[in-house]
Chains A and B, each alone.
Chain A
Amino acid sequence: MDDLDGRLSALISEVRHNPARSGKWRRATHKLLLEIQQLPKLKKSEHQNYPEALSLTFEWVCANIDKFELRDPSVSKSLVNWINGYLGWRIQDLYSPDKDAPMSLDEPISVDAGETTRLELLPDFTLSGLDDLIENAQKETTQRIGLELELYIEQDPEGKLKNSYPRSHPECNCQFLSMRRVLKNPPDRFQNLAEELKVKYTTLNSHWKKKCEPSLQEIARTLGYKQE
Chain B
Amino acid sequence: MNKAGQLVLSFSLNDDYYAINFDHVSEVIEKKLIVPFPMSKDPAKKGIISIRGKVLPVFVPLFYPKDKPDGGDKILVLNHKQEKYAIMVDKVKKVRLEAPCRAGDTVNIQAKPTLIVNHESILGKNL
Partners in one complex: no
